[in-house]
Structure 1
Amino acid sequence: MDHQRSRAPALAAALLLALAGAGCTATTDAVRGVGGTPGAAGLRDPYFPKLGNGGYDVRHYALTLDYDPKANQLTGTAEITARATQDLSAFNLDFHGMTVHSATVDGAPAAVNRAANELTLRPRADLDKGSTFKTVVRYSGSPRTITDADSSEEGWLKTSDGAIALGEPTGSMAWFPGNHHPSDKASYDITVTVPKGLTAVSNGELRSRRPAGSGGRTTFVWHAGQPMASYVATVAMGAYDVRTTPKKGADGVPVYSASDRTVTARSEKLLARIPELLAWAQENFGPYPYLSTGAIVERTGDSGYALETQNRPVMPADQFTTGILVHELAHQWYGNSVTPRTWQDMWLNEGFATYAEWLYSEDFEDTPAQVSHERAFADRSNWAFPPAEPPSAENISDPPVYGRGAMVLHKIRQAVGDDTFFTIVEGWAQEHRHANASTDDFVAYVEEESGKDLTELWDTWLYGEDKPAKP
């Protein structure tokens, strides 16, 4: 209670004096975390106010998963290394479904309470601000699919031979507990054991593949060392054909791609173009921000959409086209490396990725970006609302976030000229590499780099309710 907390410093001082008088030395644990308070159970995101948690910053996730696709049973251990940003008496993790069997903080059992998607842990001793601590949560069950406000499905998607985990915007809580807001990025180690004949694909680089006990089961160990928002973390398990391309030359990037065996024939030609497309992207957006690349191609219907999962985007076979691949590769810079500060900033992801498609069409398909801009301008669906102000969570993936977001970039290009524009495009990715950024950050950056006051452009194209008379 509050009146008890206000007396804590005096009680601590009395304890220290008593110990000193007795010829004892007070240990850190004896008075650790005096006055600690619970971390917030949400970060007040404009569209998902309960998503994420306050009081700590995750540095690393070590996820150990064992999956039985026939029973759809997942057994998991999540080791979460974090830094306390306040004196903490308790903290929350976002977690949807499944059963929590135990939780420890720094090796000591922690009290656990669950309410909806909030998992509250109370350590045996309070955590000091600035201290690093490790939480271990053991859990199991049938992971669930989450249906979004726009009726799309995410979370844990069962397939005919395995499963795939997709997280935008909230689905990662369906397969591991964590701080599932894009503002809290971390590195990952993901270890997955699957039945004989299946392959487990995840983010980052494959560190090892080894037998797991009897029965032909296999364990795959993946490491993603660069910071990653949880919504672009993935694990895909199935009967895949794997295609790898070793690093070639100083600027080369190793490729690891996986395609469901039933769609390999139709996808292998485009998969082979990934090094070429990545080289083109680097010319436009600057150095690639990760150590490897690739793609995961699933059967049509395994997911209803493509997603820019970090290092290797996921695409169903019917959407595995050059345009979508260019779009998802561009997200590795814009969205994955430069991640939105809140979900209100999502147009920065989708506007850049859509404009990348326009640039590709300009360079290789004889379609100037101005033509793509005019087509988007004529599309009524792009004018439902301003791209920086979707009316609700249901609308954050609607056409204005994509098409009108790209129009904002094209108007910047017209206003500042090509040389300055492409300097801005590359510089923005470098300025916020592996970090988070907001719309306000972008507006300030563009005006600083261009030396122009673009208030009219922002008021009309980014925030304006009405469609201009001309494109």
Structure 2
Amino acid sequence: MKKCSLLSGIFLAMAVASYAQTQTATQPSAQSATTTPGATAGHGAHPPDEVKPPTKDDLLRGAYGPYRANNDLLFYHLDLRVDPVAKSIAGTNTVRFRMLADGKRIQLELTPQLNIDSIKLGEKTLQYTREERTVWIDFPETLRKGNVYEVAFAYSGKPVTQGRFGCFSFDKDKEGKPWVTTACEGEGPSVWWPNKDQWRDEPQDGMEIDVAVPNGLMDVSNGRFVSSKDLGDGYTQWKWLVHYPINNYDVALNIGEYQHFSGKHGATTLDFYALPEDLEKAKAQFAQVPEMLDAYEHYFGEYPFDKDGYKLIEVPYAGMEHQSAVAYGNHFENGYYGRDWTGVGISPKFDFIIIHESGHEWFGNSVTAADPSDMWIHEGWTTYLEVLYVEYRWGKADGLRYVNGLKAKVKNELPSISQHGINREPPQDQYFKGALMINTLRSVIGDDAKWFADIHDFYQRFKYQNIMTEDVVSWWNERTGMNLTPFFDEYLRHAALPILELHLDEAKHTMSYRWKADETGFAMPIQVGDPQHWTTVTPVTGEWKTMPWVGTGEEFKVATDLYYVAVKQE
């Protein structure tokens, strides 16, 4: 144990030093921040994204160290009893895994606020050491590469409510009856159940979720409903089976006096759950689901979790993309809590939570980032799916209006990709700047028929996989035959927008142009000039090029609705 603690201390010191150097290198300059459109819009209402030094827990959970890398998850069986009166839980998670290398230790996580009752390999009780959330599990004999093992991790206690959505919350409905829900994307699911609390390795054969709750209540979890059984002691056990790999933070409990109604969309079963007083409102509002599925299947292909079906479940918080069990709390109103989300008059046409959180079934749940640093793969793409939904329903012009409405939400203060290997959520620009970048990429491709084929095939290439930004960039480089690495790096790894600098020479009737960008290789083509007859030019960073222009500077336009850039004309 001393050796482990010493190594952990050395690792932590090195990681903190590396983190400090990275943050120093990536801070935007004051000059670049003042030249970016959208940087100040709404700025007073939203404080800057704050970067705090990582905690020991951030580093232990974020690193994919040797005792995570030496095994591959195969299956979880979570068997849990929930007591809403005592606000306590007790159960066992049986973790099945295959060893990828010989070893005598593995790493799992469980919050220190919960008790470990035992950890067993068969009948053998195993030794363990706790360090923050990390649980180092030691085996008396070497586990051999290629062999499959199961450990039964029994635990109990009272989960601590925390984070924006509570993570594990014991609430009550309007009638005063228990309403227990989970939403742990940021805080991590190890707040309430023991698991390999990271993103890279998902249980490849899925998961069984058995939840015992007081009679009269229902649990709705991920996967396909299997059965319910009266246990004879005042509790009923609800069984669910997940047939696909699943993000650990997607695993969800939804316990309440739910009313159920259902439908079908092609081969996909649709199941809806609402509290009794909201049943009729849910039937009306949830009618948007088939239209949402039509749109996303049109662009990306079939709903990715047909074996489990699609569920939409009322919860007491805004919403969350729990795989095959999407959480909904938007008060049965269009927009976002009734507000015009992008301020351009389109959001009131649809329910933001249904459209956004369900979009994560494709990006976030099917295509998953392997590290939280690259979370834009979830959020940037899913925010762009909102744009596609609008375009599918109401046309390209409204799609463009919608995506450009996102500009006011971008801060351009920090890069959208944070440092790898640290458990923390990147800045909020990953949502809005991510979607605007993808819309810009569409304009760079410049051919909508090709674009729609590209995004379909991109999704199909990586569905059911955990990937990083490097995988995304490599695919698009190969697909387009273009070097898009500077493009992605400029938008994702730097804070400031690229600036198109213009200089009019009235005497020579020319307009000079160049990019001012953090990536020296940034050379994105862009449409400029007369909006009736756009000219596509390819500026480069730091080098002036010239084109004929007989008009005034004010008459020279840049297609900023198609590209997310700043423009500075001298």
TM-score by length of 1: 0.83
The 3-state SS of whatever aligns with 2:385 is: helix
Aligned equivalent of 1:373? 403
Aligned equivalent of 1:109? 125
Aligned equivalent of 1:133? 149
CA contact (8 A) 2:330 2:353 kept: no
Q: For residues 455 and 137 of structure 1, what CA distance do their matches in structure 2 show?
A: 44
Structure 1 residue 261, shift from structure 2 partner: 2.8
* Residues 1:124 and 2:124 are matched in the alignment: no
Aligned equivalent of 1:171? 188
The 3-state SS of whatever aligns with 1:412 is: helix
Q: For residues 397 and 438 of structure 1, what CA distance do their matches in structure 2 show?
A: 14
Q: For residues 493 and 400 of structure 2, what CA distance do their matches in structure 1 show?
A: 21
For structure 1, the residue ranges without an aligned partner over 5 or more in a row are: 4-36
The 3-state SS of whatever aligns with 2:416 is: coil
Aligned equivalent of 1:363? 392
Once the two structures are superposed, residues 308-363 of structure 1 have per-residue CA deviations (whole angstroms, 9 ceiling, x without a partner) of 00012112233764222111111111110111011111011111111111112223
- Amino acid across the alignment from 1:282: E
Structure 1 residue 399, shift from structure 2 partner: 3.2
The 3-state SS of whatever aligns with 2:194 is: coil
* Residues 1:204 and 2:223 are matched in the alignment: yes
Specify which of 290, 313, 326 is matched with residue 305 of structure 2: 290
Structure 1 residue 467, shift from structure 2 partner: 2.5
Alignment map for 1:37-436 (pairs within 5 Å): 48-51=58-61, 53-96=68-111, 97-147=113-163, 152-160=164-172, 161-186=178-203, 187-215=206-234, 217-245=235-263, 247=264, 251-291=266-306, 292-298=309-315, 302-303=316-317, 305-318=318-331, 321=334, 322-366=351-395, 367-377=397-407, 379=408, 381-389=410-418, 396=425, 398-416=427-445, 417-436=447-466
CA contact (8 A) 1:55 1:88 kept: yes
Change (3 A) 1:295 1:380: closer
- Amino acid across the alignment from 1:70: V
Structure 1 residue 390, shift from structure 2 partner: 7.6
Q: For residues 130 and 449 of structure 2, what CA distance do their matches in structure 1 show?
A: 54
The 3-state SS of whatever aligns with 2:140 is: coil
Once the two structures are superposed, residues 26-79 of structure 1 have per-residue CA deviations (whole angstroms, 9 ceiling, x without a partner) of xxxxxxxxxxx99xx99x898743226342121100011111101112111111
Q: Which stretch of the first structure deviates more once superposed, 119-128 or 184-193?
A: 119-128
Aligned equivalent of 1:467? 497
Identical counterparts, % of pairs: 23
Aligned equivalent of 2:51? none
CA contact (8 A) 1:376 1:382 kept: no
Change (3 A) 1:392 1:341: closer
Q: For residues 124 and 190 of structure 1, what CA distance do their matches in structure 2 show?
A: 29
Change (3 A) 1:309 1:108: same
Q: For residues 333 and 188 of structure 2, what CA distance do their matches in structure 1 show?
A: 22
Q: For residues 279 and 380 of structure 1, what CA distance do their matches in structure 2 show?
A: 28
The number of equivalent residue pairs is 423
Once the two structures are superposed, residues 7-37 of structure 1 have per-residue CA deviations (whole angstroms, 9 ceiling, x without a partner) of xxxxxxxxxxxxxxxxxxxxxxxxxxxxxx9
Q: For residues 218 and 111 of structure 1, what CA distance do their matches in structure 2 show?
A: 33
Give me the CA root mean square deviation: 2.9
Once the two structures are superposed, residues 191-225 of structure 1 have per-residue CA deviations (whole angstroms, 9 ceiling, x without a partner) of 0111121110100100112212143x221100001
Q: For residues 479 and 383 of structure 2, what CA distance do their matches in structure 1 show?
A: 22
Structure ID, larger Rg:
2
CA contact (8 A) 1:79 1:134 kept: yes
Once the two structures are superposed, residues 94-151 of structure 1 have per-residue CA deviations (whole angstroms, 9 ceiling, x without a partner) of 001221111111432111332321222222322112211000011111122233xxxx
The 3-state SS of whatever aligns with 1:202 is: coil
Change (3 A) 1:398 1:388: closer
Once the two structures are superposed, residues 165-188 of structure 1 have per-residue CA deviations (whole angstroms, 9 ceiling, x without a partner) of 222034310221110111111111
- Amino acid across the alignment from 2:369: P
Q: Which has the higher contact order (CA 8 A, sep 6+)?
A: 2
Change (3 A) 1:326 1:102: same
Q: For residues 389 and 113 of structure 1, what CA distance do their matches in structure 2 show?
A: 30
Once the two structures are superposed, residues 267-320 of structure 1 have per-residue CA deviations (whole angstroms, 9 ceiling, x without a partner) of 22122332332122111111211021021112xxx33x4210001211223376
Q: Which stretch of the first structure deviates more once superposed, 50-59 or 97-106?
A: 50-59
Q: For residues 420 and 365 of structure 2, what CA distance do their matches in structure 1 show?
A: 24
- Amino acid across the alignment from 1:238: G
Aligned equivalent of 1:24? none
CA contact (8 A) 1:352 1:405 kept: yes
Change (3 A) 1:319 1:408: farther
Q: For residues 85 and 98 of structure 1, what CA distance do their matches in structure 2 show?
A: 30
Q: For residues 445 and 320 of structure 1, what CA distance do their matches in structure 2 show?
A: 39
Change (3 A) 1:454 1:115: closer
Q: For residues 426 and 321 of structure 2, what CA distance do their matches in structure 1 show?
A: 13
- Amino acid across the alignment from 1:158: F
The 3-state SS of whatever aligns with 2:108 is: strand
CA contact (8 A) 1:274 1:294 kept: no
TM-score by length of 2: 0.69
The 3-state SS of whatever aligns with 1:244 is: strand
